[in-house]
Amino acid sequence: MNTKTTLLLVIVLIVVGTAYYYVARRAAEPPVVKAPAGQVVQIASGDMQKITITPADGKPVVLERAGADWKITAPVSAKAEKWTVDDLATSLAGLNSRGDTGLENKSAIGLDKPTLVEITGKDGKSVKLAIGSRSAVGDVTYVLKDDATSAQIVAADVLSKLEDPVKKYRDPKLSDLLSTDVKQFSVRRTDGDYRFEKRGDEWQMIDPEKMPVEATEMSDMIGAVAGLRAGEIVAEDAKDAAKYGLSQPRLVAFATTVAPTTQPSTSQPAGVQVRVGGYDDIRKQNVYVMVGDTGPIAKVGASIIQQLSKKPLDLRNKKLLDIDPATVNRLTLATQTPATTQPTTREASSSTIAIVRNAVAAPPTPATTQASTQPVAPTWILEGTKNAADEAKVVELLKALQPLRVTKYLAAMPAGQLGATHALSLRTVAAGGVEKTYDLKITERGDTDPPIGQSNGLTFELDRDILTKLKLQ
């Protein structure tokens, strides 16, 4: 007998066996006695205060209403996911009988080992249901209410809502924090402790160095903790923390809604702490985490490691400059172009332009019905002359600096062929006559690569659009 024949016989046996099982089971099921349709449970879903589900081979799972929410009180104490329990309550309240059947053969309809459901209303009255198995024919199941002598036939979709109730109805959220409410955040990592504070609407890194932080990057880090959702709860307490790599975690994050103070404190404010431990398997797709010092321990996506391991250069605020054009009274631009031999020979060259705000330029006035016969003094002139600068180009450049945003910070100047270098210097005069100078060096890299900027010891990439703004003449 060849392999194909054997395989064919196996398939035939499976089909015949399956058909026999359902035919035999159907024959064993008692006949349906047609009865007027009716509601099985006379407690409205909104009036249900407690639902107890006892699987045939498991412990009771107790769901209790807590104000507008639900909680699991047994066999664990945890918050329930409101919409899923509300859906269960709606399904139980909507059980409608399609008829009756006898109890002569309980095993045939699963009522010898039923799932038990007890529903308690807000008036303290309760109803008990014993729910059997799915019928061999028709998408229905059997429900025995209280001490009835016959079972009701109802739609079988309620069965899926009674499977693994702790997992199904437990709220997967491990934290109730709102990201927007967090005022202090810290991460203990192998490369040091990182601490952040929010003052007003701005985030600052406090340790290991002081610097402004990009809001979107900070939001991602906080969201990794505030929005943490369990893929699976693997332990209810911390007794097995070492087993999951949590006794010596790779990361410990802490978030609090308590605002920072100017005075040092020796105690940690109330908040949410999350420890990140080992991977669940060699694929490294999930990692174990523990909330607080007592648990629970859960399995979550491994992306939390990347979110909490961002480097300072990734976190730094990308708003490099934000200069009010009205305060600028002088700017210079020095350009150095290196010699080249490809694609054509070109000698090295340099140029410098200095532009100042014209002290005699009149401020703009409302339009009048009669045009002025006096020439309008230019706002910007070439330094040392009365010659007007290209005002449109000056305006466009200053507009690009309000603000000037970095696309990416770099650890060092990249290697490779570099092109022209533009050294831009601006002097501003604020209220009270306080002067300040801003220096920015921009180096070109080919025809498509982003230019490299340098300022205040920082190296970064900029959008190529800035190069067009540097053409002041």
Answer yes or no: are the C-beta atoms of 204 and 212 closer than 8 Å: yes
Spatial separation of the C-alpha atoms in residues 274 and 288, rounded to whole Å: 10
CB atoms within 10 A of CB 274: 25
Of 14-18, 46-50, 368-372, give the lowest mean pLDDT range. Answer: 14-18
DSSP category for residue 87: H
CB atoms within 10 A of CB 244: 23
Spatial separation of the C-alpha atoms in residues 248 and 244, rounded to whole Å: 10
Q: Tens digits of per-residue pLDDT, 216-264?
A: 999 999 999 998 999 999 999 899 999 999 999 999 999 999 988 876 6
Average the pLDDT over 326-336 and give the result. Answer: 93
Average the pLDDT over 170-174 and give the result. Answer: 93
At 384, is the pLDDT very low, low, confident or very high (cuts 50, 70, 90)? confident
Question: Side chain identity at 38, as an amino acid letter?
Answer: G
Spatial separation of the C-alpha atoms in residues 226 and 219, rounded to whole Å: 10
CB atoms within 10 A of CB 217: 17
Residue 457 pLDDT > 70:
yes
At 3, is the pLDDT very low, low, confident or very high (cuts 50, 70, 90)? low
Spatial separation of the C-alpha atoms in residues 438 and 322, rounded to whole Å: 11
Identify which of 411-420, 425-434, 437-446 has the greatest average pLDDT.
437-446
At 447, is the pLDDT very low, low, confident or very high (cuts 50, 70, 90)? confident
pLDDT of residue 241: 93
pLDDT of residue 244: 95
Of 25-39, 145-159, 307-321, 439-453, give the lowest mean pLDDT range. Answer: 25-39
DSSP category for residue 446: T
Contacts of 179-184 with CB under 8 Å at 24 or more apart are 179/219, 179/222, 179/223, 179/226, 179/227, 181/257, 182/222, 182/226, 182/255, 182/256, 182/257, 183/256, 183/257, 183/258, 183/259, 183/260, 184/255, 184/256, 184/258, 184/259, 184/260, 184/269, 184/271
Of 6-15, 112-121, 249-258, 325-334, give the lowest mean pLDDT range. Answer: 6-15
At 338, is the pLDDT very low, low, confident or very high (cuts 50, 70, 90)? confident
Domains of the chain, by residue range, sit at 23-169, 179-260+270-316, 320-360+377-469
Of 21-30, 45-54, 335-344, give the lowest mean pLDDT range. Answer: 21-30
Residue 211 pLDDT > 90:
yes
pLDDT of residue 269: 79
Radius of gyration of the chain measured on its C-alpha atoms: 36
At 15, is the pLDDT very low, low, confident or very high (cuts 50, 70, 90)? very low
Q: Tens digits of per-residue pLDDT, 53-98?
A: 999 888 999 999 999 999 999 999 999 999 999 999 999 999 999 9
Cα dist from 326 to 397, 399, 473, whole Å: 13, 10, 21
Q: Which two tokens stand for residue 138?
A: 């028709």
More confident residue, 281 or 369: 281
Residue 277 pLDDT > 60:
yes
Tokens 């923390």 identify what position?
241
DSSP conformation letters of 349-405? EEEEEEEEE-TTPPPP----SS--SSPPPPSEEETTS-PBP-HHHHHHHHHHTTTEE
DSSP conformation letters of 170-184? B--BS----GGG--E
Cis check for the bond before 343: say yes or no (omega within 30 of 0).
yes
At 10, is the pLDDT very low, low, confident or very high (cuts 50, 70, 90)? very low
Q: Which residues contact 287 (CB under 8 A, 6 or more apart)?
A: 276, 277, 278, 279, 280, 299, 300, 301, 302, 304, 305
Q: In the chain, how long is the greatest CA-to-CA distance?
A: 112
DSSP conformation letters of 115-153? EEEEEEETTS-EEEEEEEEEPSSSSEEEEEETT-SSEEE
Helix (H) or strand (E) holding 158: none
Residue 25 pLDDT > 70:
no
Query: Could you say which architecture CATH assigns to the domain 23-169?
Result: Sandwich (2.60)
Residue 189: phi and psi, rounded to 5, are: -130, 170
**Averaged confidence pLDDT in the chain:** 87
- The torsion angle over the Cα atoms of residues 217, 223, 228 and 229, rounded to 10 degrees, is -100
User: What is the separation of C-alpha 227 from the centre of its chain, rounded to a whole number of angstroms?
Assistant: 6
